[in-house]
Amino acid sequence: MSVHTTACPRNCFSTCGMRVTVEEGKLRLLESHPENRATSEGLCLKGQSYIERVYSADRVLYPLRRATDGSFERISWEEALGVIAERLGAIRDQYGPRSVLFYSGSGTKGLMNDLALDFWRLFGGCTTTYGDLCWPAGLEATRLTLGDNRHNAPEDLANANLILFWGKNPAETNIHQMRFVEQALDRGARLIVIDPRRTQTAEGAELLVQIEPGTDGALALGIAHLLIRDGAIDHDFISRHVLGFDEFAQMVQEYPPDRVAAITDVPVEILHRLAAAIGQTRPLSICAGFGMQRYTNSGQTMRALIALLAITGNLGRPGAGWIYANLQSHVFHSLKDPLALFPPPEDSGSIRVSVSTALLGRHMLEQEDPPLKAAWIERGNPVTQNPETHRVLEAIRSLEFRVVVDQFLTDTALEADIVLPAKTFFEQTDVIGAYWHSYIQIKDKLIEPPGEVKPESEIYYRLGHALGLDEEGLTASIPEPGDTAVEAYLTRRLEAFPELTLDRLRQGPVLAPGTETVAWSDLRFATPSGKVELLSEEAERRWGLDRLPGFLEPLETPGAEGTDGSRFPLHLLTPNTKDRIHSQFNNLPSIRKLNPKTLVHIHPVDARVRGVEDGAWVRVFNDRGSVELEAKLDYGLKPGCVSVTNGWWLSEGGGINQLSAARETDMAHGAAYHDNAVEVEGL
C-alpha cells in the first residue's frame, strides 16, 4: 500500500489537491491534500466518484469502429490507426490538411494537452477553433479594466466584511470557497447574493436580489449612480488609480433608480439597500459567476461590475477585490491577453483558426477552400455542450470521417466512425495549474491503464508513424511511449522554474513563482495607462464597443418574436450543478441515484397559467427546438424564468442546447447561451 500526491484536472474552480492510496495496483482511497490550502477540507461528490469512474463497466477500453448497422465493434490498435491514417491521409492529399478539424474541449487540463497542436503541425496543418464556452467575456473585461486576470488568494475572502456573489452559486460550483465565506460570516461579515434563483448559496445571505436575467450591467450602473450621488466613493483612490471616472460619472447619470428598477425588475428600495451596503462596508469582495457573462452584453456587464470596486477603492487590499479568474498559476503560457487563449479568426502558420466555438456547427458548415471533411475531437462533448445542437449534429454528420477520443460513449462519441479510449489522470503523469488558486500540482501516474487504453500522447506518436510523418520532427515534439519519456518532456517544460521539479511537486502542491496573496497590492495595473480603466480605448478599437461600460439589452429577451409570429415569454437558465461538471459524471450510477432525471424548474405562478402541475411532463420549446421534460414547481425561482441544469446527454433524455442560439458575447468570442427565450406547454 502506498500514498501519492495528485490533483483533479477537471474544468472546475477548485482543482483539488488529492492524496491517493494505491494497493496492489488498484485505487483504494481518495482524500484531499492538506497542503493545498484552498481545497484541504475534503473532496466533492465528483471527486469521491473517481474510483467508480476509472473502473466503470461503461468505460471505453478498446478502439471501436462503427459497424454497418450503426453499432460499434471492437478492433485492434493496429486496425484503428491503420484506418485513421488511411482516411486522414487521403483527405489531406485530396483536399489539403486544413480540411481536418481539430476540436478540443476543456474536459481535462494539463501540460500534456499541448502536444495536440504539435502533432497537427507535423500533419501539415488543420483547422481549429477560437473562443470558449465558459469565461472569455469576463476574462477580456477584466484585462481591459485591470490589466490582467488574477485575484486575492482564496483564503483571503475570510477577511472581507461584505461578500457579494453576483450570479455565482459556490455552494454547488465552487464548494471549497464556502469555507472562507463561513469564516468571514463568523467574523460578522455580510453576504448578499444577486441571482434569479434562490440557490443553496443564497440560503446563507442577508439579501437575495432576484434580477431580470441579462440586466446585471444596468443594476451595476444604477448602484454606481447612487454611490457617486451620495459621495460614498473613495476620491483619493479614484484620483490616483482610476482612468475615466469623470466620463463614467457622467454616463451613470442616465441610470437613475426608477429607470434601473424598470430594466432590472429590482425594486427601488432594494437598489438603495445595495448601494448603502456597498458604499458603507469595506473591504468588499465581488465574486462573479461564469453564467452571468454568457449573454450578448456580458463583457460590458463585467466591466460595470468591476467599476463598483474601482470607485469605492476596493482593489489591492486584503478582503477586497474582484474574484473571477486567477491565472497566477498559468506560468507556462503567455495568458495576459485572453486572445492568447482564444485567438481571433485568422491563420496561424499551418493552422487555420477559423471556427468559433460558440458558432461551431454553423462555422463548420461554412468553411471553404477547403471545406471540412474530417474531424478529430478530444476532451469535449460538443454535441451536448455547444449551442444549437441540431446544427452541430448536422455539421458533424456532413463530414466524411470522424474520430473521437473519450472515456465513455458520449453523445459526440456516438457520432464517430472511430472511438479511441482516453486515459484518466491516474494513468499518465502530468502537471497542471488552476484558475481559482495559485498552486502548481502534479498528476502522477498511479496505475496502469486498463484494457488497451493509451495516453493521448502515445496515440499521436503511433499515429504519426502510421502516417509516415517526419521521424525527427515527431520525436522532437511528442514523447515516445513510456513513462520515462513523458517525465523527460515534463522536466523540460519545468526547467525554467527551479522550484517546480517533479520530485518537489510529488511532495505536495507548490505555489506558482511570483504568487501574490493580495492581487494588485502595489496598485500597479498592466493597462495602457497603468490605472484601472473605466474608459478603455481598446474596448472600442478591438471590439467596437463603447469606451465606457454602458448597458445594452441582450439580443434575445422574454417576449422575443418567433419566426411563426408566436412569442416566447420565459427566460431559460441553464446553470451548473454540484453533481456534474457540465456533461461529465452523470453517467455514473452513484451520481445518477442523486440526480436521476432531467427536470425543468418553473415558478408555480407560471405553471398555473399553463395548467402545469408538479411532476407533469411538459414541452419546453422555441424556434430552434424542443425538449420534453418533467416539471418541478419551484417557489425559489424568479417568475418569468425556467431553469434546466446543463449537461444531460441526448441519450439520457436531455439536450437542452437544442434550444440555445449560436451567438457570441460582445467581446472575446464567448458563447452567449443565456440570451434564450422559450415557452412551456403541458403534454
For the segment 314-330, what is each residue's pLDDT rounded down to a tens digit? Answer: 999 999 999 999 999 99
Q: Give the pLDDT score at 190.
A: 98
Q: How far apart are the first and last CA of the chain?
A: 56
* CATH architecture of the domain formed by 560-682: Beta Barrel (2.40)
Q: Give the pLDDT score at 455.
A: 95
Grid coordinates representing 553? 439589452
Residues of the chain falling short of pLDDT 50:
335-341
* pTM of structure: 0.96
Q: Give the pLDDT score at 207.
A: 98
Grid coordinates representing 354? 477559423
Residue (of 288, 249, 358, 296) closest to 146 by Cα position: 288
Q: Give the pLDDT score at 343.
A: 55
Grid coordinates representing 482? 513510456
Max Cα distance, the chain (Å): 73
Contacts of 467 (CB under 8 A, 6+ apart): 85, 88, 89, 123
| Topology (CATH level 3) of domain 138-328 | Dimethylsulfoxide Reductase; domain 2 (3.40.228)
Q: What is the Cα 79 distance to its own chain's centre?
A: 36
186-199 exposure pattern, b = at least 16 Cβ within 10 A, e = fewer: eeebbbbbbbbbbb
CB of 181 within 8 A of CB of 170? yes
Q: How many CB atoms lie within 10 A of CB 617?
A: 12
Question: Which position has the grid cell 478498446?
Answer: 62
Q: Give the pLDDT score at 654.
A: 85
Which H helix or E strand runs over 487?
Answer: helix 483-494
CB of 201 within 8 A of CB of 177? no
In the chain, where are the structural domains located? 2-54, 66-134+331-426+450-484, 138-328, 560-682
What three-state secondary structure class fits 320? coil
CATH 3.40.50.740 at 66-134+331-426+450-484, yes or no: yes
CATH of domain 2-54: 2.20.25
Contacts of 79 (CB under 8 A, 6+ apart): 63, 65
Q: Give the pLDDT score at 358.
A: 96
Q: pLDDT tens, 296-308? A: 999 999 999 999 9
CB of 462 within 8 A of CB of 444? no
Which H helix or E strand runs over 223?
Answer: helix 216-229
CB of 445 within 8 A of CB of 23? no
Cα(413)–Cα(470) distance, rounded to whole angstroms?
A: 30
Main-chain dihedrals φ then ψ at residue 411, nearest 5 degrees:
-55, -40
